[in-house]
Amino acid sequence: MEINKFACMVIASLVITGCAGRASSVAPANVSAEEYSGMSCDATRAERSSARDKNNSLTRKQNNAATMDAASVVLVLLPLGSVFGGDVSGELAQAKGELAALERAVRINCRTEAVSTYPN
């Protein structure tokens, strides 16, 4: 009897740890703003807008995978969202890092252009 409880606990812990996390729990990757240093202010802003769109799309996918995992674990004891490739936490971490770097780059690149356009 004790072995069945132990086996159930082990299986349950393996299933739960295999589940996709919510997008808010994904930490951003470390991306340097230096990668965007040669861009104009407008180009940096356009790239930031594109990065926001990508980040939002991946956030939705990650949250959907987490929801699917939670529901499927209850129903069939398997995290189906993760099993079928719904977990995009690696891509989301990179997208979050790029967006943060672009936010910093916009402040730097747009300030640099503003300073260089004013006569001394």
pTM of the model: 0.71
What domain count does the chain have?
A: 1
How far apart CA 43 and CA 56 sit, in angstroms, is 20
The residue segments making up the domain with residue 56 are: 2-117
pLDDT in tens, the chain (120 residues): 566 665 455 455 444 445 767 788 889 999 999 999 989 999 999 999 999 999 999 999 888 887 776 665 555 555 555 555 567 888 999 999 999 999 999 999 998 655 555 554
DSSP of 30-43, one letter per residue?
A: ---GGGGTTS-HHH
